[in-house]
Amino acid sequence: MELARRLSVAGWVLGVLGLLLVAGSVLGARAGRERVVVEGESMTPTYAVGDKVVVDESVDGNEVRRGDVVLFSAPEVQGFDALVVKRVIGVGGDRVECCAGTGAGQRLLVDGRPLEEPYVADGIVDGRGPGGVNEPYVVQVPEGRLFVLGDRRSNSNDSRFYQGGQGGTVPVAAVRGRVVDGWRAPVALIVLGLVGLALGLAGLVAAAGARQVRRRGALPEPPWPVGPLGV
Q: Given 25, 86, 156, 159, which residue is catalytic?
A: 86
Question: By the 8 A CB rule, do 90 and 110 touch?
Answer: yes
Is residue 86 annotated as part of the catalytic site, yes or no?
yes
Assign 3-class secondary structure to 211-222: HHHHHHHCCCCC
Cα(17)–Cα(118) distance, rounded to whole angstroms? 47
> How far is the CA of 10 from the CAs of 5, 15, 135, in angstroms?
9, 8, 72
Is residue 42 annotated as part of the catalytic site, yes or no?
yes
Question: By the 8 A CB rule, do 180 and 55 touch?
Answer: yes
**Residues facing residue 108 across a β-bridge:** 98, 115
DSSP string, 30-83: HTTEEEEE--SSTTTTTS-TT-EEEEETTS-TTT--TT-EEEE--HHHHSS---
Q: Given 8, 25, 42, 159, which residue is catalytic?
A: 42
Q: What phi, psi does 54 have (nearest 5°)?
A: -100, 130
Cα(134)–Cα(147) distance, rounded to whole angstroms? 17
Q: Other C-beta atoms within 10 Å of 20: how many? A: 13
The residue count for the chain: 231
Q: Other C-beta atoms within 10 Å of 107: how many? A: 16
Q: Which residues are catalytic?
A: 42, 86
